[in-house]
Amino acid sequence: MADRIVLNTISYHGHGAIENIVPELTARGYKKAFVCSDPDLIKFGVTKKVTDLLDAANFAYAVYSEIKPNPTIANVQDGVAAFKAAEADCIVTIGGGSSMDTAKAIGIIINNPEFADVRSLEGVAPTKKHAVFTIAVPTTAGTAAEVTINYVITDVEKKRKFVCVDTNDIPEIAVVDPDMMSSMPKGLTAATGMDALTHAIEAYVSTAGSMYTDANALHAIREIVEWLPKSYQGDHEARQHMHDAQCIAGIAFSSGLLGIVHSMAHKTGAAFEGDHIIHGCANAMYLGKVIQFNAKDARAKSRYAFIAKEVLHLAGETEDELVEALVQEIRDLNDKLDIPQGIKNYGAKGVKADESIINYDEFEAKKHDVAANAILDACTGSNPRQPSQEEMEQLLECVYTDTPVTF
C-alpha cells in the first residue's frame, strides 16, 4: 500500500518570514485578501504586523474578526457571507487553531458551495475543488493547522465537535514566523504545546504512519519535551524551537493521522454544561491514559518504549518499564505546565482546581453517548488499538478520575 504525504506548496520559516506574504499574493495576481484573525490578536497588535505589510504595499484587504474559540457552524456560515460581501479573492489567516479552522471551512465552502450546511464536511468529505488560495500564519505553537488537512468545528445544537479531513483544505502557503507568537500567554503556551506533543506521539504509533511521518514525529517529540517547559516560562529561544517543533509535528500527523486521544478530546470538548474543555488540556490529561491502553498492542508498546529509551533517554529495562516511564514523563510535564492530571481537577480556563467545573453526575449521564461519538470520530480508525464501547467508557472514567488504565 502506498504512503500518502500531503504538504503545502511553499512554507517559510524563521524571523521575518511574514515579509514573504505580499510578494506571494502579488506574484499570483490576487487583488484583495480576506484576513481572518481573532479579536484578541487584533486588540494586541499581532494581526497588525501583517496588515501593516498589506498597507505598505497598497494591497486591498478586509478583516474578519468574528472568530470564536472552538468555532461553530454559525461562525463559518457568517464568514462565508462576509467573504462574499468583501469580494475578496484570497485568504490570509492569522492566529491559532480557531482562526485557521474557520478560514479552512470558509475557503472550502466558497469553492464547494454544496457543503454550505457545514455538517456535511464531517469526516472525509468528497469536495471537488481546492479551497480559496490561503496563506496561513500561526501565532501559537501547537495546532499546526497551517500545515495540516484537518479542521474542527463545534456543533452547538448537538453539543459536540466534529473533525473534517480534506486534502483540499491545506493552505497553499504556511508562514511560520516566531515573531508572531512572542505575546502568547502562559496558559495557551502550555495547552498548545501539549497538543503538539500529542500530535507527534499519536502520529508515531498510528497505523497510517510511514518512515516519512516517523522521522518528523520523533524529532518533534525530542524538541517539545526539551523546550516546552522553557517556552512556558517565557524563554524566547525556546519559543522559536516550539514554533518549529509544532509545525514538524503537524507535518507528521497530517499524513500519519492521529488516534483516540484526539477522538476523546473532540467529543468531550463541548459536551458539558460547565464549560468547554480546552483542547490542548484535554490531550494532556488523556495522553498518558491512552498510552497505557494502547500498550496492550505489541507494535504500539514497542514504539512507546522506543520513544522513552532512544528519544527521551528515560530509565527502564523492559518495554513495560519504559512505557510507564513515558507516562510518568507526561505527568511530570503536566505538573511543570500547571495542567490538571484528570478532569476531576479541571478548573476554569484549564487551571488546576480542587473541584472540577465538569460535574461528575453530568459526566456519568453523558458518558455512554460521548464514548459512542468518540468511537465514530475520524481519528479513531488509525489508533493502534480499537476500543469497544465498554472500553471507551472505561477510558473516559479513567481520564475523569485520574485512574491508571489496566485493561
Is it the case that residue 14 has pLDDT exceeding 80?
yes
| Confidence label for 78 from pLDDT (cuts 50, 70 and 90) | very high
10-181 topology per CATH: Rossmann fold (3.40.50)
Residue range 147-168: average pLDDT? 95
pLDDT digits (tens, 9 = 90+) for 204-225: 999 999 999 999 999 999 999 9
The per-residue pLDDT of the chain, averaged, comes to: 96
% of the chain at pLDDT higher than 90:
96
Residue range 58-86: average pLDDT? 96
pLDDT digits (tens, 9 = 90+) for 215-254: 999 999 999 999 999 999 999 899 999 999 999 999 999 9
Residue 346 phi/psi, 5-degree rounding, is: -85, 110
* pLDDT attached to residue 183: 75
* pLDDT attached to residue 250: 97
190-401 topology per CATH: Dehydroquinate synthase-like, alpha domain (1.20.1090)
Is it the case that residue 1 has pLDDT exceeding 90?
no
| Confidence label for 274 from pLDDT (cuts 50, 70 and 90) | confident
* pLDDT attached to residue 25: 98
pLDDT digits (tens, 9 = 90+) for 278-292: 999 999 999 999 999
* pLDDT attached to residue 184: 83
Confirm if 164 and 152 have CB atoms less than 8 A apart. yes
Is it the case that residue 344 has pLDDT exceeding 80?
yes
pLDDT digits (tens, 9 = 90+) for 105-134: 999 999 999 999 999 999 999 999 999 999
On the question of a common fold for 10-181 and 190-401, the answer reads: no
What residues does each domain of the chain span?
10-181, 190-401
Q: Pick the more confident residue, 159 or 384.
A: 384
Residue range 173-191: average pLDDT? 91
Is it the case that residue 305 has pLDDT exceeding 90?
yes
Confirm if 181 and 130 have CB atoms less than 8 A apart. no
